[in-house]
């Protein structure tokens, strides 16, 4: 549009002051609405009982009143970077390119930890301390570019040198500026080598007809157990929907659960109370009991101590 506007402007210099005034209105007010604002999505371990999240959103509203601000979750258990990293991965790919995620879990600024913005190959942005929070989105969406937030430039004006609320004074501020287009990614700070702090985690693989994986998180509310084995990898086992799967779950090498379960397209394909293998929200293999709590019933938890093995149970 800028070319058209330029032409109009030049032409109208030769016209009446009336139309110039008219155009001025057009130029001043229209572009404000054309600005491409990406959504801003906030995650933290603050809970929703006090004013912390609202203070972050206030800072965002100061940057731009028309910004669409959303919550990923604020119920990350305190300091639990592992869960923060997994929740980001669970949500991010469903948002449009240009979405800016701010995740504030265990920032530890002042301890020498870096504050960064990651741009992924998918076009999403993540504003967060580089403390492991980026582990899974970096793996899933690819690192396009990593920049360190320049602390001297990017704080809320007037925020104290004593401020310990970096979620508000730094991360929300930078995130809102990026999402609203008030700041370019290049202005965040200097470019870093594309290497983030990674949480230790077992990657999945298939060998000799057996898929090996781990349990990143539980779907706590429903008691489902999620593995890190994607459907694509699971597909190498040649198990079709409706066929039986042999499932073994171990903790530190000791078998805790061993059973044959049906690979199902929906929960209702097995009787109420029966276990099933299904594809979860992320396109990864998961285990459940139809209308029951699989994790609780069988004493399964999430974390690096746990491993899963699956193979075809067809004879």
- The 135-154 contact track toward its own copies, x by CB under 8 A, reads --------------------
3-state secondary structure 109-127: CCCCCCEEEEEECCCCEEE
Positions in 249-308 near its own copies (CB under 8 A) = 265-269, 278-281, 283, 291
Q: Is the dihedral of CA 154, 125, 134, 48 positive or negative?
A: positive
**Binding segment toward its own copies, per CB under 8 A, in 40-48, 139-147, 198-206, 208-216:** 40-48
Determine which residue in the list 48, 205, 242, 299 makes contact with its own copies, applying CB under 8 A.
48
Helix (H) or strand (E) holding 312: strand 303-312
Strands 275-279 and 284-289 turn out to be antiparallel
- For its own copies, the closer of residues 59 and 258 by Cβ is 59
> Which residues are bridge partners to 262 per DSSP?
244, 276
- For its own copies, the closer of residues 101 and 306 by Cβ is 101
Determine which residue in the list 161, 184, 190, 271 makes contact with its own copies, applying CB under 8 A.
161
Per-residue CA distances from 254 to 127, 216, 257, 310 (Å): 39, 18, 9, 16
- For its own copies, the closer of residues 13 and 252 by Cβ is 13
Determine which residue in the list 35, 160, 186, 236 makes contact with its own copies, applying CB under 8 A.
160
Positions in 55-94 near its own copies (CB under 8 A) = 55-59, 61-62, 65-66, 68-75, 78-79, 87-88, 90-92, 94
For residue 21, what are its two tokens?
């005034």
């Amino acid at each position: 549009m800028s070319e058209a506007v330029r032409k109009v402007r030049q032409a109208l210099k030769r016209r009446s002051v009336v139309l110039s005034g008219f155009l001025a209105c057009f130029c001043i007010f229209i572009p404000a609405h054309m600005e491409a604002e990406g959504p801003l999505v906030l995650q933290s371990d603050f809970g929703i009982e006090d004013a912390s999240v609202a203070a972050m959103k206030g800072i965002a509203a100061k940057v731009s009143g028309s910004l669409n601000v959303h919550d990923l979750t604020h119920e990350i258990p305190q300091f639990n970077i592992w869960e923060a990293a997994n929740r980001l991965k669970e949500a991010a790919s469903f948002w449009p390119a240009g979405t800016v995620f701010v995740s504030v879990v265990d920032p530890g600024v002042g301890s020498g930890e870096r504050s960064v913005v990651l741009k992924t190959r998918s076009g999403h942005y993540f504003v967060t301390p580089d403390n492991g929070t980026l582990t899974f989105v970096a793996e899933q969406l690819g690192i396009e570019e990593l920049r360190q937030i320049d602390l001297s430039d990017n704080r809320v004006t007037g925020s104290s040198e004593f401020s310990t609320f970096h979620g508000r004074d730094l991360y929300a501020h930078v995130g809102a500026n990026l999402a609203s287009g008030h700041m370019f990614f290049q202005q965040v700070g200097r470019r870093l080598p594309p290497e983030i702090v990674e949480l230790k985690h077992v990657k999945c693989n298939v060998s000799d007809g057996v898929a090996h994986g781990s349990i990143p998180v539980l779907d706590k509310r429903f008691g489902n157990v999620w593995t890190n084995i994607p459907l694509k990898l699971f597909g190498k086992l040649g198990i079709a929907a409706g066929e039986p799967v042999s499932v073994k779950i171990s903790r530190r090498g000791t078998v805790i659960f061993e059973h044959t379960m049906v690979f199902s397209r929906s929960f209702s394909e097995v009787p109420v109370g029966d276990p099933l293998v299904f594809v979860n929200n992320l396109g990864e293999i998961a285990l459940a009991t139809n209308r029951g709590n699989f994790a609780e019933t069988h004493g399964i938890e999430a974390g690096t101590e746990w491993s899963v093995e699956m193979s075809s149970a067809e004879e």
